[in-house]
Structure 1
Amino acid sequence: MTTPPPPAPSRVVVCRDCCCGTSKLPGVDHEAQTARLRQTVPTRVSTCLDVCDQANVVVVQPSAAGRAAGARPVWLGLVNDPDATEDIVAWVRAGGPGVAPMPPILDLYVFTPPHRRGAG
């Protein structure tokens, strides 16, 4: 008898392309941010997410349990300091969207990407 795989966890997508993760944002340690996310939570690095005015962009995707509770991906923009990265890590480790309450400070980073405006 095989054991079913564990439910899909909350995940992070971090944009690293034309604006996010580049020298266009001086003083931001993009490599350290990416490394911190990768070492602590399931992370995927993406090419351009087409919201360059919000660089650095991090999308927190809900876990299977979060989706079952009705959660949708949460888009966070201007994530350019280590404290914000740590808040994201703590939230994802606690369960992420639909499972754990988002730290109130992250409300400052939430935005609706253009392709989602007006959707459902």
Structure 2
Amino acid sequence: MSAGASRGGSVPCRVVVCRDCRCGSRKVTGVDHAEQTARLARDAPVRITGCLDVCDQANVIVVQPSAEGRAAGGRPVWLGLVNDSAATEDVAAWVRAGGPGLAALPDILDLYVFTPRRRTRTPRGV
């Protein structure tokens, strides 16, 4: 199944890949960042983003549900420390199966799931 196709012809889930700061740079060695992104793009649309402000979790991938997945209760899933090809393949397989809301998160990916901290804002005038 290509990135443009999905179950029932609907738009597939989307993958956001952080490629700024520590993610996707020489700071995380031993990872072919371009290949990781290309691998994910074979199964879903991939958007490259700047820093997501969770550098301690590099490499960060966020899997966003499709419209069908969101209607079924799926929410974005943040995955951190995705630093080897086996982990990338596990993400790609879940995306192919439908991702958030449509396919159960594989047990192996539980090791990578994290909840991003909320950015704290300094009140104006302080």
Q: TM-score range by the shorter chain?
A: 0.7 to 0.9
Residue 24 in structure 1 maps to residue 24 in structure 2: no
Unaligned runs of 5+ in 2: 1-8, 120-126
Matched residue count:
111
Displacement, 1:111? 0.1
Q: Deviations over 1:53-89 (max 9, x none)?
A: 0000000001111111111100000000001111111
The answer as to 2:106 corresponding to 1:108 is no
10-19 vs 34-43, greater mean Cα deviation:
34-43
TM-score, normalization by structure 2: 0.83
For 2:10, the aligned partner's letter is P
Q: Tell me the TM-score normalised to structure 1 length.
A: 0.87
Percent identity of the aligned residues? Answer: 71
Asked if 1:53 corresponds to 2:52, the answer is no
| CA distance, structure 2, for counterparts of residue 20 and residue 90 of structure 1 | 21
Q: Which portions of structure 1, spanning 4 or more consecutive aligned residues, are displaced by more than 3 angstroms?
A: none
Distance 1:115 1:8, change over 3 A: farther
Structure 1: gaps spanning 5 or more residues:
1-5
